[in-house]
Amino acid sequence: MSFDLVLFGGTGDLAWRKLLPALFQAQRHGTLPAGGRIIGVARDDLSDAQYRALIASRFAAVEGDKRPSATEFERFAELLHYVRMDLSQGADYARLAAHLRARGADTVVMYLATAPTLFTTVCEQLGAAGLATPATRVVLEKPLGHDLASNRAINAAVRGVFSERQVFRIDHYLGKPSVQNLLALRFGNALFEPLWRRETVASIEITIAEQLGVEKRGAFYDGTGALRDMVQNHALQLLCAIGMEPPINAHADAIRDEKLKVLRSLKGWTPESLARDVVRGQYAAGQLAGEAVPGYLQEPGVAPGSRTETFVALRTEIANWRWAGVPFYIRTGKRLAAHEAHIAVHFREAPHAIYRTPMGAANRLVIHLQPRDGLALHLFAAGQSQRGPATAAQTLAPVQLDLDFDQRFGRERVGAYERLLLDVIDGRLNLFVRSDEQEAAWRWVEPVLQSWREADERGEGPRPYASGTWGPSAASALVAKSGHSWMEEV
């Protein structure tokens, strides 16, 4: 199957840091279909040779085994081409159309690695140039809008040119091997299904923690914040994967129908719950790995006195038969104590204790998402030093069954963008977000955004927290009110 992948924003940060390395790895692994072209599109005046040289210079900074050898890059460079375009000029789209029609690839992928403000313009121009054919697929990067209204406007404009089945809204968390293993854990094994419900689960925690600050993205981040950047998309998609009912099959719409039901079942916000169940924070100066780091307000590009949040912790519930009354805790932030993402399923204590266990301890299943990829099941067992059979007076010790997927399957596994790009080329929609999912997520977070705007007007900004910690102390109090704790506090 021949394909053309047109990369709008082909000289940008996302293209050379994520997309082109992912495509190179696919070629290295032998999974990239033969007969393909990768066409970078940008305003720079470059020839094909100059574009290949530019990408080669960026690839030279790649560390370790993922850096291509000279022979490997030479082979990959044969796929790279370049077209100079001003995305506001219809004549340039006509030139691109002629370039693509001259070859007539079976599949044409339009990857919009541009500012979201250009999505509508690019899609409308593609339609006007006759490039929205049945063979065309369009990939939209996040953030898709700034709120519900802007998200609807973008989706309406895109649907005016492309059908829903041609639109691939990408969330790279869904391409992570660990998230695929989460779905396999739930729906490929009978072991956990009887336990996956309110009768046995006490609480569920989703943590996406970063040690880095905003770095050079201060101007972008200051207009976005943690809720839009991480919760509205990544965290809610993980919540859907944990909370959804088994789909009738593995087809894209069957899976996405069940995710949509979860989003529509999230408890709505009230003034009381917004005040009680949401914590907003902003990192201050502190120590990280023994080095002093600046606070958010000292970062380049951040407006003086900014009230943008770099940390969010919240409590919610899925109001349905399976999960009624089970709290779901979401936490994400920058400049935290660790670079780590995990989902922790905390089980209820045994209904009748005949052994002593450590105070407050219970079984839990931890799905590690990054930097490691694996599962850990926390149980209790009699200590090795004990002689004879266990007795009721004996205190059991915690033990851990640990499965490291990198060790089990090897570290050279398919990365998130590599998997997602291959799925786009093959036309598989399972790991992509449907427009009604996005709208449901935006509808749920909007009351939180509105409450923060009102708090800002009252002079109540985000809570400061020292860099290198786990966020404001109010985040610990949030879970403690229900008798729970974050995983590092267990």
- 261 appears as a binding residue in the annotation: no
Angle between helices 20-29 and 416-426 (to 10 degrees): 80
Rounded to whole angstroms, the Cα distance separating 317 from 267 reads 6
- Let me know: does 190 contact 161? Beta carbons within 8 Å: no
- Say how far apart CA 455 and CA 307 lie, in whole Å: 10
263 — phi, psi (to 5°)? -60, -40
Q: Determine whether the annotation assigns residue 124 to a binding site.
A: no
Whether residue 433 contacts residue 424, with contact meaning beta carbons closer than 8 Å, is answered with no
Q: Is 481 annotated as a binding residue?
A: no
CA 488 to centroid of chain Cα atoms: 22
| Interacting residues of 32 by C-beta distance below 8 A, sequence separation 6+ | 23, 26, 422
Question: Known binder of ligand: residue 18?
Answer: no
Cis amide leading into 327 (omega within 30): no
What residues have CB less than 8 Å from 26, skipping those under 6 apart? 32, 418, 421, 422
CA angle 146, 424, 49 (to 5 degrees): 95
The reply, when asked if residue 210 is annotated as ligand binding, is yes
* 66 annotated as belonging to a binding site for a ligand: no
Strands 340-347 and 201-209: antiparallel
* Catalytic entry in 81, 234, 368, 378: 234
Instruction: For the chain, give the longest Cα–Cα distance.
Output: 85
- 146 flagged as catalytic: no
**Per-position b or e across 216-247, b if 16+ CB within 10 A of its CB:** ebbeebbebbbbbbbbbbbbbbbbbbbbbeeb
Q: Is 176 annotated as a binding residue?
A: yes
Q: Counting every residue, how long is the chain?
A: 490
> What positions carry a catalytic annotation?
234
Binding residues for substrate: 172, 176, 210, 229, 334
Binding residues for NADP(+): 43, 86-87, 142
Binding residues: 43, 86-87, 142, 172, 176, 210, 229, 334
